[in-house]
Amino acid sequence: MMSLTIRKIMVLGLIGTILLMGNILFVANWLSEKGVVEWAESIRAEYLTGTAIAVLAALLILLVSPRAKTGGLVRRCPVCDHVLLTRGSYCSECGSKAA
Ligand SMILES: [Zn+2]
Protein backbone atom coordinates (compact mmCIF):
# COMPACT_ATOMS: atom_id res chain seq x y z
CA MET A 1 0.00 0.00 0.00
CA MET A 2 2.79 2.38 1.00
CA SER A 3 4.87 1.65 -2.11
CA LEU A 4 1.84 2.25 -4.32
CA THR A 5 1.31 5.70 -2.78
CA ILE A 6 4.98 6.56 -3.29
CA ARG A 7 4.74 5.36 -6.92
CA LYS A 8 1.66 7.55 -7.48
CA ILE A 9 3.47 10.56 -6.00
CA MET A 10 6.49 9.85 -8.19
CA VAL A 11 4.34 9.62 -11.35
CA LEU A 12 2.50 12.81 -10.41
CA GLY A 13 5.81 14.52 -9.70
CA LEU A 14 7.20 13.39 -13.06
CA ILE A 15 4.10 14.66 -14.88
CA GLY A 16 4.32 17.92 -12.93
CA THR A 17 8.00 18.31 -13.84
CA ILE A 18 7.28 17.69 -17.54
CA LEU A 19 4.42 20.21 -17.48
CA LEU A 20 6.58 22.74 -15.64
CA MET A 21 9.45 22.34 -18.15
CA GLY A 22 6.96 22.72 -21.02
CA ASN A 23 5.61 25.87 -19.37
CA ILE A 24 9.12 27.28 -18.89
CA LEU A 25 9.82 26.79 -22.62
CA PHE A 26 6.44 28.34 -23.44
CA VAL A 27 7.08 31.32 -21.14
CA ALA A 28 10.61 31.78 -22.56
CA ASN A 29 9.25 31.77 -26.12
CA TRP A 30 6.47 34.16 -25.15
CA LEU A 31 8.95 36.52 -23.46
CA SER A 32 11.24 36.59 -26.52
CA GLU A 33 8.22 37.16 -28.78
CA LYS A 34 7.09 40.12 -26.68
CA GLY A 35 10.57 41.67 -26.81
CA VAL A 36 11.09 41.25 -23.07
CA VAL A 37 14.58 39.86 -23.67
CA GLU A 38 15.63 43.09 -25.41
CA TRP A 39 14.04 45.02 -22.57
CA ALA A 40 15.96 42.95 -20.01
CA GLU A 41 19.21 43.53 -21.92
CA SER A 42 18.60 47.29 -21.93
CA ILE A 43 18.00 47.11 -18.17
CA ARG A 44 21.29 45.21 -17.82
CA ALA A 45 23.09 47.86 -19.92
CA GLU A 46 21.66 50.58 -17.68
CA TYR A 47 22.76 48.61 -14.63
CA LEU A 48 26.30 48.30 -16.00
CA THR A 49 26.39 52.04 -16.75
CA GLY A 50 25.20 52.74 -13.22
CA THR A 51 27.91 50.47 -11.82
CA ALA A 52 30.58 52.22 -13.90
CA ILE A 53 29.34 55.62 -12.66
CA ALA A 54 29.38 54.36 -9.06
CA VAL A 55 32.97 53.09 -9.45
CA LEU A 56 34.06 56.42 -10.97
CA ALA A 57 32.33 58.32 -8.15
CA ALA A 58 34.09 56.13 -5.57
CA LEU A 59 37.46 56.79 -7.23
CA LEU A 60 36.77 60.54 -7.30
CA ILE A 61 35.80 60.53 -3.61
CA LEU A 62 38.99 58.59 -2.84
CA LEU A 63 41.10 61.13 -4.78
CA VAL A 64 39.36 64.19 -3.29
CA SER A 65 39.15 62.94 0.30
CA PRO A 66 41.66 64.52 2.73
CA ARG A 67 42.86 61.10 3.85
CA ALA A 68 44.03 60.33 0.30
CA LYS A 69 46.00 63.62 0.27
CA THR A 70 47.93 62.76 3.40
CA GLY A 71 48.10 59.06 2.58
CA GLY A 72 51.35 59.46 0.66
CA LEU A 73 49.83 58.61 -2.71
CA VAL A 74 50.03 62.22 -3.90
CA ARG A 75 53.15 64.29 -3.16
CA ARG A 76 52.58 67.98 -2.60
CA CYS A 77 54.93 70.92 -2.46
CA PRO A 78 55.37 72.07 1.16
CA VAL A 79 55.55 75.73 -0.02
CA CYS A 80 52.78 76.19 -2.61
CA ASP A 81 50.84 72.91 -2.15
CA HIS A 82 51.24 72.14 -5.84
CA VAL A 83 50.75 68.45 -6.69
CA LEU A 84 54.10 66.96 -7.69
CA LEU A 85 53.50 64.70 -10.65
CA THR A 86 57.18 64.21 -11.51
CA ARG A 87 59.59 62.26 -9.32
CA GLY A 88 62.04 65.18 -9.11
CA SER A 89 62.94 66.63 -5.76
CA TYR A 90 62.07 70.19 -6.80
CA CYS A 91 58.60 71.68 -7.25
CA SER A 92 57.76 72.42 -10.87
CA GLU A 93 55.48 75.28 -9.82
CA CYS A 94 57.65 77.40 -7.50
CA GLY A 95 61.06 75.69 -7.70
CA SER A 96 61.42 75.06 -3.99
CA LYS A 97 62.84 71.78 -2.73
CA ALA A 98 60.19 69.18 -2.05
CA ALA A 99 60.80 66.93 0.92
ZN1 LIG B 1 55.88 74.61 -4.93
Integer Cα distance of 90 and 82 in angstroms: 11
Q: Separation of 83 CA from ligand 1 center, angstroms?
A: 8
Range 71-95 average pLDDT: 80
| Confidence band for 74, pLDDT divided at 50, 70 and 90 | confident
Integer Cα distance of 33 and 44 in angstroms: 19
User: Is residue 60 predicted with pLDDT exceeding 80?
Assistant: yes
| Confidence band for 39, pLDDT divided at 50, 70 and 90 | confident
Cα Rg of the chain, angstroms = 32
Q: Separation of 24 CA from ligand 1 center, angstroms?
A: 68
**Residue 83 in contact with residue 64, Cβ under 8 Å?**
no
Tell how strand 83-84 and strand 75-76 pair up.
antiparallel
Q: Separation of 78 CA from ligand 1 center, angstroms?
A: 7
User: Is residue 55 predicted with pLDDT exceeding 80?
Assistant: yes
Entry pTM: 0.28
The number of C-alpha atoms within 13 Å of 98 and in the hemisphere containing its C-beta is 20
Q: Separation of 85 CA from ligand 1 center, angstroms?
A: 12
